[in-house]
Amino acid sequence: MVTGADGFIGHALCKKLLADNYKIKGVVRSKYHNSKFIEGLDTSLFETIGPKTDWSEALIGIECVVHLAALVHIVNNDTHDPLKVFREVNVAGTECLAREAASANVKRLIYMSTVKVNGERTGDRGQGAGVRSQKKTEVRGREGELKEFFSEEDVPEPQDSYAVSKWEAEKVLNKISSETGMETVIIRSPLVYGPRVKANFLRLLKVVERGIPLPLANINNRRSLIYLGNLVDAIVACIKNPKAAGQTYLVSDGDDVSTSELIRRMGYAMGRPVRLFSLPPILLKMAGIISGKSIEIDRLLHSLTIDCSKIRRELEWQAPFSMDQGLRETAKWYKKEDRCQESEV
């Protein structure tokens, strides 16, 4: 059973599992459901996911649950207690599903978490970007230095309400596993890109496609990403491999890039010239403050790198697609979508 089956990751995972002859059930929000989104997929419709959701019928005959559904953003910015809202779905909702799954004799539950559980940034590996953090709230190395990369051995330091809720859900799942014997596997992912991508990555695709100049030429940070096809392959490995039981894995393409290098690769994949020029990071940060986009600017400037050697070592997993392959597939999808939108207009 795959929750969030009509989402960005869930859609691709269900198609892969069906192609591999798995018998699967997709859980989708009935409010947004399109019954034709994947041909041949058996679906269960749910109004909400929370502490009182009844999973009993959907879990009949299920051996493994992949829990992708989550609250990622709060649309209503007037919410006074965002952590409470995130906890309702991501913690209490996950606990409800896990306990009912254990009662239904589900063997394994795979939980999609986030690298944000580890923190928001790592060190810049001495790349000289001029954007090394001075904040002590994100210290992981000795003597006040940020760690070079995140790993499963880190003490979690979630910084926002969403990340806190995902970390709390991880702890709840480990507790339920110890109490019931149901196997749990936790996957922490960085930014995922690929066909049907949304949010900031889609906006960056649009900027590159239009040839808009960007002031990011001298940003020499390092960031880990993961192509959708690689993430789906890692999830399948966690479904199949007995060694995954009880483990937490950080996953990525294994090809860390600077923001400027990522944009150049995106331009190459799209067949578009990339126009980059230099601007001091301090001015970019000021622009972020003025525009209310400080978080987005920080992600462009700072590093976040992952050591994914554990999953490679324990499950003998290798990313089947290179970053350049992933970007080409993403660009191909984007161009097709763009043409479809033009024809509709």
Are the beta carbons of 46 and 53 closer than 8 angstroms? yes
Mean pLDDT of the chain: 89
3-state secondary structure of 145: coil
Domain 2-337 falls under CATH 3.40.800.20: no
- pLDDT, one tens digit per residue, over 208-217 is 999 999 999 9
For residue 119, pLDDT beyond 90:
yes
pLDDT of 233 reads 98
pLDDT of 140 reads 46
Rounded to an integer, the average pLDDT of 270-295 is: 87
Q: Tell me which of 99 and 200 has the higher pLDDT.
A: 99
pLDDT of 134 reads 33
- Rounded Cα gap, residues 166 and 329, in angstroms: 29
For residue 105, pLDDT beyond 70:
yes
For residue 117, pLDDT beyond 60:
yes
- Rounded Cα gap, residues 177 and 160, in angstroms: 26
pLDDT-derived band at 342, boundaries 50, 70, 90: very low
pLDDT of 339 reads 55
Structure tokens at 185: 């596997």
Catalytic residue among 22, 32, 111, 162: 162
Dihedral of alpha carbons 56, 47, 11, 69, sign: negative
Q: Verify whether residue 32 is a known catalytic residue.
A: no
pLDDT of 40 reads 80
- Rounded Cα gap, residues 289 and 120, in angstroms: 18
- Rounded Cα gap, residues 231 and 233, in angstroms: 5
- The predicted model scores a pTM of 0.90
* Length, in residues, of the chain: 345
Share of the chain above pLDDT 70, in %: 88
For residue 128, pLDDT beyond 70:
no
What phi and psi, each to the nearest 5 degrees, are found at residue 61?
Answer: 80, 5
- What Å distances lie between residue 69 and 29, 93, 192, CA to CA? 9, 10, 15
